[in-house]
Structure formats: structure tokens, C-alpha cells
Chain A
């Protein structure tokens, strides 16, 4: 793929070495280009990119609070519309906590009202910025500071909330899952999302070196393992039509993904088997 040359996220930001969240933004903005306004929820991304009085953003950017990126993006879109600037890409970024938990109401409202915007949830599967607390997107069995593994616990005891399908239930024209380890696939989805007239939602897997416990050099490798094991499916739903966008030729055993990260290291054979079963069912359901 010929990648667009321009960059709109400046270096010098405070993301950990190897941070996948920085890459989510770098790739998304490469695709959407200069004619973009960004809204972000509170979280690692906002904190690391805007250490006052500095900013890493090279497109207009607004942050208001943790729970309202959907509402702020709605307002930005309507204000641009009132000025006759309907060709601007309005992109909101929110972490998993900011999107699937506390910000869910404002995203739901934005989708329901049919605003012309793209919402990108960068999912690192916990509240990283405040110290790795579990979120509704934390997968079953993961150890976090509020779902710690130990003698009486195997870690998180709830299954991951299925946010892309919650978005699909809103009947919006475009929904996709993505991974930073498949940049062409992700950027193609950003293109479709920003070209969609109406609300679009992308849910992207973002390995987090600090929160998941792996060497920074492995960020991309672990994202790829997530997809190759079927743990993280890649699909899109375009005007109600579901399509798998990448199918591993042969799915790897999920244990390869689990053993690569400290948050899953404690899991025993029984738990691993349970996760494999869950992944098998998910893949069968989606036709992967």
C-alpha cells in the first residue's frame, strides 16, 4: 500500500515507548488527512498528547471530559454544518473505559441522532491512565488492579462487553473492528467511515505494553497474535451487511496469545480451555 506521507500527530508526546494508542491516531490521521477535527475523551491518549501548554495534535483538537466525547463531537459536527463546512471529517477518539462504560450514553445519543461523524474506540481493555483498573471491555480471566488474580481469583470474572454489536444495534451505516497490526485494513476502514454520510464506529484493538505486561517491541506482534488466534476478529458491517475483512488461514491456539502477556500468565489449563471454547464459538458465529 502507498501510505499517505503526511503526519498529523507530532512526536514528543508522552506515550510509553511502544504505545499502541499513538499508532491508532497516527494511522487514522494519515488516512483522514488535514481536513479533520478531533475530539477526545479523557484517558491515556488525551493525557499523553496534551501536556499543557504543549500539544502533539496538528489538526484542531478538543477535549472536554471523560464521559462526553460523543456529545462534544455531535456539537462540533452541528457547528460545522451551521457554517456550511460539511466536508470536514469529525473524528472522536475514546478509550474503552470512556467508550463502553462511562461514555456509552453520549455515544448512543450521537449515533441515534445520526450525526455525520466517526467514533474510534481504542481498546486497551482497561482504565490504563489511572492504573490498570478493569473496564467493561476487559476480557474474562485478565488480571487488573481491580480484578487481581490470586489464590481466590482467576482475574476478571465477566465476559467482554460486545461494543461493536451494541453499535450495530443502533442501525448506523458503518461499523468495523480493527487492529493496529493490520494498518492497511484499519486505514481502509477509516476511509469508509469518514466517507460515510452519517455515524460510523470503529473498534480497534490496542495492545498496551504497561497494562498488559509485555516488552514494548512486541506491541505489533501481540496485536497480530490476537487476530491470528481468532481472539480479535476483523470485520465490518456496511449498511447492515456483515463481512469478515481478514480470515487467518489457520487459527493459532489462543494459549499462544495468552502466554505472551503478564495479565494472563496466571491462568491454568481449565481457564485456558474455557477461553479457547469462547473463541471457537465466537469464530463459528462470525464465520471465521
Chain B
């Protein structure tokens, strides 16, 4: 017999059902032609929404603007997200 004490969650990473992209007011647009591949945007995104090829996952990007603020060559513009 197994006893469950408290709450157990057996699906790792299940917050993925919650698409936080809907929170966004501003949307980061990354210009790969300007990018110097410094990795700042990749490493500083709190959502892990930028991959190592500098693609942005808009399903989860909350539009915080950290990536844009930390880009040394202004390759990421924040645009109003309609």
C-alpha cells in the first residue's frame, strides 16, 4: 500500500500548460543580422525563453525586456504586442 502524505505532483515541468506569453505587453524582436552572439539574452532570460540559436519562444516570453536591456548592440527591440 502506498500512502501519499501532503500533495504530490508526478508530472515534472507541468507549468508548461500555463502559456505566460499572454501576460506580455511588449514583445522582443531579435535582429539576427545585428547579433554578435554574446549569449547575454540567452543566459539572462528568467523564463529560459531564448534558445542557443537566439530563437524566442513567444508562448512563454513575459515581455520583461531584460534581453533587450542587456544586449550590447541593441539587436533586440521591444515592440508593443497587439
* Chain A residues within CB distance 8 Å of chain B: 3, 5, 7, 9-15, 17-20, 22-23, 26-27, 49-59, 183, 215-221
Cβ–Cβ < 8 Å partners of B36 in chain A: none
B2, CB-defined interface residue at 8 Å: no
List A contacts of B12 (CB < 8 A): 10, 55, 57-59
Selected A-B contacts with CB under 8 Å, 29 pairs: A3-B39, A10-B15, A11-B47, A12-B15, A12-B19, A12-B20, A12-B60, A13-B15, A14-B15, A17-B23, A22-B47, A26-B46, A27-B43, A51-B18, A53-B7, A53-B11, A53-B14, A54-B14, A54-B17, A54-B18, A55-B12, A55-B14, A56-B13, A58-B12, A183-B44, A215-B65, A217-B64, A217-B65, A217-B69
Interface readout for B20-62 with A: 1 if CB under 8 Å, 0 if not?
1001100000000000000100111011110010000101101
Contact between B66 and A219 (Cβ–Cβ < 8 Å)? yes
From A56, which residue of chain B is reached at the shortest CB distance? Answer: B15
Give the interface size class of chain B. Answer: 35 or more
Q: Is B77 an interface residue (CB 8 A)?
A: no
Separation in Å of the A29 CB from the closest CB of chain B?
Answer: 10
Residue in contact with B64 in the complex, picked from A51, A52, A219, CB distance below 8 Å: A219
Known: A216-B65, A216-B66. A18 touches B46 (CB 8 A): yes
Interface residue from B18, B62, B69 paired with A220 (Cβ < 8 Å): B69
Shortest beta-carbon distance, B55 to chain A, in Å?
14
Instruction: Write the residues of chain B forming the contact surface with A, with a CB cutoff of 8 angstroms.
Output: 7, 9, 11-20, 23-24, 39, 42-44, 46-49, 52, 57, 59-60, 62-66, 68-70, 78
Bound CA span A54–B17, Å = 8
Q: Are A50 and B52 also in contact (CB < 8 A) when A12-B60, A18-B64, A217-B64 are?
A: no
Instruction: List the A residue with the shortest CB-CB distance to B68.
Output: A217
Docked pose: A57 CA to B57 CA in angstroms: 19
For A62, give the chain B residue with the smallest CB separation. Answer: B6
Contacts of B43 in A (CB 8 A): 3, 27, 183
Q: Are A58 and B69 in contact (CB under 8 A)?
A: no
| Chain A residues within an 8 Å CB radius of B19 | 12
